[in-house]
Structure 1
């Protein structure tokens, strides 16, 4: 397990993460990247704790996601199954588990203030914190230069997403952008940092 974790985690995070995995009896499964999620936690019928993680070249994203999912396990075990998945119990558990990692031996100095700010009140997904998501993307081994972010596009721009669907960018609500699906006329909300392929006229 240690050799597997070395491939996906920052060097100084491997041993403490391995200790958490052993302490809480986690069965860790790493799968090909899923677009809709970075990872998930499930308690199996036999009582085993399964955490499924996307294989990713971004070690900092992997670490945050792994601790996020372990926090679900710990919060459910401590407070019971009736708590909200991303409620106050989970948030406090996530913060407590993550704090030992928020140091320069683990994360690049440039990332630390952004991460510290996120963990004042962590969101259900790091992707919904635009500042953190954009900061983390700088450490992807593969940069998708051909893609753009929704927030960068002028209103009225037409773009394609990962599944081939085509949208037209509309106005911004409080945090997200209204985008019209061209084929159906249905309105969807997009995170500012959603990566899309701009279609030329």
Structure 2
């Protein structure tokens, strides 16, 4: 397991992650890239705990996702399965589990202030924290995608599912975009990755 983890997370994080996995009896499954999620936790019918994480994630996103999913398991064990999946118990647990990793041996210096801010009140996904998501994206392999905030006003873009939109004005945090086929208005986070159509 140590060799496997070393391929996916920063080397300095391996011992602590390995300890978390063993202590919580986690079956870690690394899967192909999914568009809708970075990872998930499941209590299997036989009582075992399975966590899946996308293989395509950069080491920092992979680590955050792995600890995020382990936090679900730890929070459910500590507080019972009736808690909200991303409620205060999970937030507290996730923050405590992440603290040993938030240091310059694990994360690049430029990510540390964003991580410290994020973990004051962690969101259900690091993707909903636009600043952190964009900063983490700098460590992803190169892609032909753009962020919504990079698309000019009135610019046209396509989603992974083929739907085509025209970018509108920014509201408070998100961008109002019109689906060209239906005329329906959708709100997009600024860090949503899309394919710009010229």
TM-score clears 0.5: yes
1:57 CA drift (Å): 4.9
Aligned-pair CA distance for 1:161: 1.3
Which residue of the partner structure matches residue 130 of structure 2?
130
SS in 1 for 2:106: coil
Unaligned residue ranges in structure 2 (runs of 5+): none
Residue segments in structure 1 that go unaligned for 5+ positions in a row: none
Q: CA deviation at 1:184?
A: 2.1
Partner of 1:109: 109
1:79 aligns with 2:79: yes
Q: Does 1:143 align with 2:146?
A: no
Partner Cα separation in structure 2 for residue 166 and residue 93 of structure 1:
39
Number of residues paired by the alignment?
Answer: 198
Q: How many Å separate the matches in 1 of 2:110 and 2:183? A: 42
TM-score, normalising length: structure 1: 0.95
RMSD: 1.1
Report the Cα distance in structure 2 between the residues aligned to 1:57 and 1:73, rounded to whole angstroms: 21
1:44 and 1:7 mapped to 2: Cα distance? 26
Counterpart in the other structure of 1:18: 18
Q: Alignment partner of 1:98: what SS?
A: helix
Match of 2:154 in 1: 156
Q: Stretches of 4+ moved more than 4 A in 1? A: none
The CA distance in 2 between the partners of 1:21 and 1:194, in whole Å, is 31
